[in-house]
Amino acid sequence: MGAGTGAATVDVAVIGAGAAGMMCAATAGRRGRRVVLIDHATKLAEKIRISGGGRCNFTNRDAGPANFLSANPNFCRSALARYTSQDFIDLVTRHRIAWHEKHRGQLFCDESSEEIIRMLRAETDAAGVQWRMPCSVTAIAPQADTPGFLVTTSSGPIHAARVVVATGGLPIPQIGATDFGLKIARQFGLKIIEPRPALVPLTFDAAAWKPFVPLAGVALEVDIRTGEGKKAPRFREDLLFTHRGLSGPAVLQISSFWEPNTPITIDLAPGLDLAAALLDAKPGNRQQVGTVLSGLLPRRLAEQWLVAHAGLWPGLATQRLADVPDKTLRALAGSLSAWSVVPSGTEGYKKAEVMRGGVDTRGLDQQTMEAKTVPGLHFIGETVDVTGWLGGYNFQWAWASGVAAGQAV
Ligand SMILES: Cc1cc2nc3c(=O)[nH]c(=O)nc-3n(C[C@H](O)[C@H](O)[C@H](O)COP(=O)(O)OP(=O)(O)OC[C@H]3O[C@@H](n4cnc5c(N)ncnc54)[C@H](O)[C@@H]3O)c2cc1C
């Protein structure tokens, strides 16, 4: 970096050395740009490190615009088409990182997410990127006399012709997440889509949840949906009962779509016509309802379900199946195959995997991620209002938006 007026001078300052920031810096550096990459953390890319249970679900083979939520759903199309999951697979393969497909196109490292961090670090080094880390950015201001920005940092000022904001979303503040990206967007007059936790466990009012607390630890595959109509989001994934509510991939997926004070509907016996199964088994059946139900569902769920609904159907668990009215069996089956519950909230940013909302993409150029009203200022990654489903999509957005900006700056 040249010293000039006492401040360093670069072509590009990338703020945030996470998934999107490192990808962007490496791409711009390879194009011959003088790039500085700034991060306030002491440890590099903590979110990549903890991702995918330590193995980083680094992309999804089938990633496409349909796997993302945004107030402007077409925005992500261009970047995702120009840098695909296959492009990232090629990069990982070039770095001899072994990986495997878990399910539904989700790709994980065989060994450790550290390998992805090392790969990105090596890419930035090969591209000649300069680092400032740990280093805090205290202000970004347009330069008075020339185009570009003055970036004020804890290790001195930097003149940058272009600034890329890649500071991520609000989840997991304990490892350095901040609202910096949103603040800078607001400072420069960009609109924000209200952020909120997504891919997050759902919680329930303690009194209402009490009957289900004994189910904590029970996991099973379910169908889950929220909202109305044929296009209402729906997933078939595993659900996990917790002490405070519901978690597991099914619930994380639906949480991104869930609107407060509305129900989610869960089929706890997907692919099975529970009413027909009970009615078919009924004639002459002297077994207790609890026993029959335990043959159709996980035993703990079947038993506790009847306990939880004892007020509605007193003594049903121990009644002989043959003696139970059809109407009651149909109602019991309905309670399990269309269990409708209204969460009271979520576990919040401490437990969320991503932030929904962020910088309104209608203010950004979809090819370059540049703010339409602030030439030279770009936003990438999770700070932007593009939120992926669970399954490697969020990293694919980080890579693709990073490359899009890196090619333009
Ligand atoms: C527990 C967990 C598991 C996850 N697992 C997966 C997964 O397996 N697959 C997947 O696709 N997605 C996963 N995600 C989501 C994924 O990690 C993020 O979507 C992705 O990291 C976003 O990339 P980013 O570069 O925008 O932000 P980040 O990777 O969060 O990087 C932002 C960087 O900016 C820095 N920063 C923040 N504020 C400032 C500031 N004021 N000044 C300087 N630097 C700053 C931070 O220190 C950080 O290094 C997971 C998330 C969590 C929380």
> For each of the chain's 409 residues, which pLDDT tens digit applies?
443 456 799 999 999 999 999 999 999 999 999 999 999 999 999 999 999 999 999 999 999 999 999 999 999 999 999 999 999 999 999 999 999 999 899 999 999 999 999 999 999 999 999 999 999 999 999 998 888 999 999 999 999 999 999 999 999 998 989 999 999 999 999 999 999 999 999 999 999 999 999 999 999 999 999 998 888 999 999 999 999 999 999 999 999 999 999 999 999 999 999 999 999 999 999 999 999 999 999 999 999 999 999 999 999 999 999 999 999 999 999 999 999 999 999 999 999 999 999 999 999 999 999 999 999 999 999 999 999 999 999 999 999 999 999 999 9
Protein residue with its CA nearest to atom 35 in ligand 1: 16
Give the pocket of ligand 1 (CB within 6 Å). Answer: 15-21, 38-41, 45, 47, 50-52, 56-57, 136-137, 166-168, 171-172, 176, 178, 180, 353-354, 381-382, 392-395, 398
Q: What per-residue confidence (pLDDT) applies to 349?
A: 97
Q: Is 218 left (phi over 0), alpha (psi -120 to 50) or beta?
A: beta
The CB-based long-range contact list for 303-308 (8 Å cut-off, 24+ gap) reads 304/211, 304/212, 304/214, 304/215, 305/335, 305/336, 307/211, 307/214, 308/211, 308/212
The segment(s) of the chain belonging to CATH 2.40.30.10 are 202-346
Q: Which of 319, 314, 325, 311 is nearest to 290 (CA)?
A: 319
Q: What's the gap in Å between 297 CA and the centre of ligand 1?
A: 38
| SS3 (DSSP) at 69 | strand
Q: Which atom of ligand 1 sits closest to the CA of residue 46?
A: 49
- Nearest ligand 1 atom, CA 178: 38
| Helix, strand, coil content of the chain in percent (nearest 5) | 35, 25, 40
59, 108 contact by CB (below 8 A): no
CB of 176 within 8 A of CB of 48?
no
Listed in order, the ranges of the chain carrying CATH 3.50.50.60 are 8-197+353-406
- Which residue from 253, 194, 144 is spatially nearest to 385, judged by alpha carbons? 194
E strand segments, 85-226: 99-101, 106-109, 130-132, 137-142, 149-153, 158-165, 192-198, 202-203, 219-226
316 alpha carbon to ligand 1 midpoint, in Å? 50
> What does the radius of gyration of the chain's CA atoms come to, in whole angstroms?
25
Alpha-carbon gap, residue 7 to 344, rounded angstroms: 51
Domain 8-197+353-406 class in CATH = alpha beta
Q: Ligand 1 test: best mutation among 252, 347, 353, most atoms within 8 Å of CB?
A: 353
Our CA angle for 209, 210, 214, nearest 5°, is 105
Whole-angstrom distance, CA of residue 332 vs CA of residue 284: 19
Question: Can you give the pLDDT at residue 160?
Answer: 98
Please indicate, yes or no, whether the overall pTM of this predicted structure exceeds 0.75. yes
Residue 108 Cα: closest atom of ligand 1: 8
| The ligand 1 atom nearest the CA atom of 21 | 25
Please choose from 47, 155, 165, 385 the residue to mutate so as to test ligand 1's pocket, defined by most ligand atoms within 8 A of CB: 47
What single DSSP character describes residue 45? T
Has domain 202-346 been given CATH number 3.20.20.70? no
For residue 16, give the amino acid letter.
G
Ligand 1 centre to CA of 395 (Å) is: 9
HSE toward the beta carbon, residue 281, CA cutoff 13 A: 20
- Cα 354 to ligand 1 centroid, rounded to whole Å: 8
Residues in contact with 281: Cβ distance below 8 Å, sequence separation at least 6, in sequence order: 292, 321
